[in-house]
């Protein structure tokens, strides 16, 4: 049997599970009756789609939302999964197609509207159902707003087919849960997953990279003797950084997927047993690590996605005691990640989605209010400012950057979108380098219009513009910045933009940017 994590990557194109997904997928795949309560947008669909692929037989998905079913069928087919829907919105031809696929034993997922259950029971008994998944399971509750009488048939169906059932809902109150258990599972308590995503004991912090090695050494130096993990983007860096930590008097080891299994096991065992060991690793490290007292996790490079970030920082503080995290990021990370996405062989829609996910992560990195709130919002949970992140500790100063951004965009456009940050900043700050002079860029109207900001301040403006996806490095132009459509309203003066000020000017002896 193929592991769910493999399908997650190869079929759905996701690098990591979202909080809660992995456990639910494991239970459902193993054939346990399951009740999962997840906020809307938390990623429920995957929790039955992955098991459907891993298990034998057809997975019947019951959902009251016809549009959602049709959407899901379409996107499953796009990634090569055989799925079909039987709903009142189907044409005769669509029904024929579904029945034919069922007859040929091709279908892995069959979506059904609840009102079809009455007439379809005989058919379902013939086709070899392996699993029933019930979306919006609270519709079985008479007291809720969404009661659907047809949902009452599901319990009987489960018994007569004799297959496991997985129920999903975003409604968490106890009465609804009890009714779901009674009516869908005949009163037998299923494996139940209700877990908020928040890990309140983990302190969240991000910092702009200036000299990452020194930043990590400083961070570790203030946490001597505590167990921690440093994640890096490359295998080579795990070795150099581990060595630097050892030279600074820490006990450190490196870990990556290119090492012998033997060596890797040794590091895992040491980490488990020794106090105060620092493991510098790629994301290959962590799965199966079950150490409750990891006191800190640092990212020396920007993680790949918010899901990955959450999973990696989530390895800290499993014992519930305070734990700390630090994530470093900079323009090079953004450039690297953008070009990795642009140069991948994935179809255009997936690349667009990957850019979107990267934007969400960069939004978190450049956040202007509580990071945890932003993180939880991404997973569908609402919350109050947490009081346990760098921004709650010290609110960021923001400023109206509309003019600065317009100047930067103008410099990009007037040079034909052929240049990178360094040259653009030279133009803006009126730095007549050889390159500027040779290209005649000192004659541009934009030349020296940005003297009010320092070089590092402009660096921060460009970085945040990249983070907001206003400009993207073009891999076919050696990373030259090109404007995206997002930036148009700002360029045209139709929309203002606010940027963080505290990260804007770090040049010693200079005052913060004047607006």
CB of 40 to ligand ADP, least distance (A): 4
Closest residue to ligand ADP: CB criterion = 43
> Which stretches within 248-366 are classed as H helix?
261-273, 306-313, 331-342, 348-365
> Which stretches within 202-347 are classed as H helix?
212-221, 235-247, 261-273, 306-313, 331-342
Q: In the chain, how long is the greatest CA-to-CA distance? A: 81
CB 130 within 8 A of CB 55: yes
CB of 201 to Zn ion, least distance (A): 13
**What mask, x for binding ligand ADP by CB under 6 A, covers residues 258 to 297?**
----------------------------------------
Q: Out of Zn ion, ligand ADP, none, which partner does residue 129 contact, by CB within 5 to 8 A per kind?
A: none
**Looking at beta carbons, which pairs linking 509-514 to residues 24 or more positions away fall under 8 Å?**
510/454, 512/397, 513/399, 513/404, 513/452, 513/453, 513/454, 513/457, 514/452
Burial class (CB in 10 A: 0-12, 13-18, 19+), 192: middle
CB of 381 to ligand ADP, least distance (A): 11
Distance CA 348, CA 326 (A): 33
Q: Out of ligand ADP, Zn ion, none, which partner does residue 18 contact, by CB within 5 to 8 A per kind?
A: ligand ADP
Cβ nearer to ligand ADP, comparing 24 with 140: 24
CB of 386 to Zn ion, least distance (A): 4
Cβ nearer to ligand ADP, comparing 44 with 254: 44
**What mask, x for binding ligand ADP by CB under 6 A, covers residues 324 to 363?**
----------------------------------------
Distance CA 358, CA 363 (A): 8
Q: Could you tell me the CA-to-CA distances from 418 to 262, 421, 467, 479 in Å, in that order?
A: 49, 10, 19, 9
Distance CA 295, CA 226 (A): 6
Distance CA 168, CA 138 (A): 8
Q: Out of ligand ADP, Zn ion, none, which partner does residue 206 contact, by CB within 5 to 8 A per kind?
A: none
Cβ nearer to Zn ion, comparing 47 with 370: 370
CB of 25 to ligand ADP, least distance (A): 10
Cβ nearer to ligand ADP, comparing 350 with 414: 350
Cβ nearer to Zn ion, comparing 313 with 386: 386
Cβ nearer to ligand ADP, comparing 187 with 356: 356
Distance CA 153, CA 118 (A): 7
**What mask, x for binding Zn ion by CB under 5 A, covers residues 473 to 502?**
------------------------------
Distance CA 141, CA 148 (A): 8
CB of 107 to ligand ADP, least distance (A): 20
CB 253 within 8 A of CB 237: no
Site for ligand ADP in 32-61 (CB under 6 A): 38, 40-46
**What mask, x for binding Zn ion by CB under 5 A, covers residues 388 to 417?**
-x--x-------------------------
Cβ nearer to ligand ADP, comparing 26 with 226: 26
The stretch near ligand ADP (CB under 6 A) out of 17-25, 87-95, 275-283, 403-411 is: 17-25
CB of 327 to ligand ADP, least distance (A): 18
3-state SS string for 339-368? HHHHCCCCCHHHHHHHHHHHHHHHHHHCCC
Distance CA 163, CA 32 (A): 9
CB of 343 to ligand ADP, least distance (A): 20
Single residue of 17, 271, 329, 419 touching ligand ADP by CB under 6 A: 17
In eight-state DSSP terms, residue 204 is B
Q: Out of ligand ADP, Zn ion, none, which partner does residue 299 contact, by CB within 5 to 8 A per kind?
A: none
In eight-state DSSP terms, residue 468 is T
The stretch near ligand ADP (CB under 6 A) out of 12-20, 105-113, 180-188, 439-447 is: 12-20
Residues 6 or more apart whose CB falls under 8 angstroms from that of 460 comprise 208, 499, 500, 503, 504, 505
CB 487 within 8 A of CB 406: no
Strands 277-281 and 251-255: parallel
Site for ligand ADP in 296-325 (CB under 6 A): 307
Site for Zn ion in 330-389 (CB under 5 A): 370, 372, 386, 389
3-state SS string for 59-116? EEEECCCHHHHHHHHHHHHHCCCCEEEECCCCCHHHHHHHHHHHHCCCCCEEEECHHH
Cβ nearer to Zn ion, comparing 369 with 495: 369
CA-nearest of 347, 352, 356 to 80 is 347
Q: Out of Zn ion, ligand ADP, none, which partner does residue 372 contact, by CB within 5 to 8 A per kind?
A: Zn ion
Site for ligand ADP in 138-197 (CB under 6 A): none
Cβ nearer to ligand ADP, comparing 17 with 185: 17
**Number of chain residues interacting with ligand ADP (CB under 6 A):** 13
CB of 305 to ligand ADP, least distance (A): 6
Binding site for Zn ion (CB under 5 A): 370, 372, 386, 389, 392
| Residue numbers at the binding site for ligand ADP (CB under 6 A) | 14, 17-18, 21, 38, 40-46, 307
């Amino acid at each position: 049997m193929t592991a769910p994590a493999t399908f997650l990557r190869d079929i759905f194109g996701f690098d990591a599970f979202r909080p809660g997904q992995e456990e639910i997928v494991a239970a459902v795949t193993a054939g346990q009756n399951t009740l999962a309560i997840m906020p809307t947008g938390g990623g429920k669909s995957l929790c039955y789609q992955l098991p459907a692929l891993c298990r034998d037989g057809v997975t019947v998905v019951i959902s009251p939302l016809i549009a959602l079913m049709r959407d899901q069928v379409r996107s499953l087919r796009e990634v090569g999964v055989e799925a079909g829907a039987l709903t009142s919105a189907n044409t005769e031809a669509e029904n024929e197609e579904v029945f034919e696929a069922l007859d040929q034993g091709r279908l892995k997922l069959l979506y059904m509207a609840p009102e079809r259950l009455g007439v379809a029971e005989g058919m379902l008994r013939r086709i070899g159902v392996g699993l029933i998944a019930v979306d919006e399971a609270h519709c079985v509750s008479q007291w809720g707003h969404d009661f659907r009488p047809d949902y009452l048939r599901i319990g009987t169906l489960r018994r007569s087919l004799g297959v496991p059932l997985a129920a999903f809902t975003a409604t968490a109150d106890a009465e609804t849960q009890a009714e779901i258990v009674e009516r869908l599972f005949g009163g037998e308590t299923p494996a139940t997953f209700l877990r908020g995503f928040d890990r309140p004991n983990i302190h969240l912090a991000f910092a702009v990279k200036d000299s990452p090695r020194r930043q990590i050494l400083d961070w570790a130096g203030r946490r001597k003797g505590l167990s921690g993990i440093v994640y890096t983007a490359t295998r080579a860096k795990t070795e150099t950084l581990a060595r630097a930590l050892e030279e600074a008097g820490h006990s450190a080891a490196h870990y990556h997927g290119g090492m012998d299994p033997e060596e890797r096991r040794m590091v895992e065992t040491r980490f488990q047993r020794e106090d105060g060991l620092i493991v510098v690793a790629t994301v290959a490290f962590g799965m199966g690590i079950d150490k409750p007292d990891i006191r800190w996790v640092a990212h020396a490079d920007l993680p790949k996605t918010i899901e990955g970030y959450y999973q990696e920082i989530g390895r800290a503080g499993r014992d519930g005691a305070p734990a700390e995290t630090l994530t470093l990021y900079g323009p090079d990370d953004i450039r690297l990640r953008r070009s990795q996405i642009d140069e991948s062989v994935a179809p255009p829609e997936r690349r667009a989605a990957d850019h979107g996910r990267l934007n969400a992560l960069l939004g978190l990195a450049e956040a202007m209010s509580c990071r945890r709130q932003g993180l939880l919002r991404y997973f569908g949970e609402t919350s109050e400012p947490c009081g346990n992140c760098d921004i709650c500790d010290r609110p960021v100063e923001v400023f109206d950057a509309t003019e600065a951004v317009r100047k930067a965009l103008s410099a990009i456009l007037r040079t034909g979108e052929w240049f990178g940050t360094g040259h653009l900043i030279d133009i803006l700050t009126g730095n007549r380098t050889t390159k500027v002079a040779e290209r005649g860029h000192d004659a541009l109207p934009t030349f020296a219009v940005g003297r009010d900001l320092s070089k590092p301040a402009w660096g921060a403006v460009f970085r945040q513009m990249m983070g907001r996806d206003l400009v993207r490095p073009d891999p076919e132009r050696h990373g030259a910045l090109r404007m995206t459509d997002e930036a148009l309203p700002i360029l045209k003066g139709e929309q203002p933009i606010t940027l963080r000020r505290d990260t804007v000017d770090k040049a010693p002896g200079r005052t913060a940017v004047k607006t």
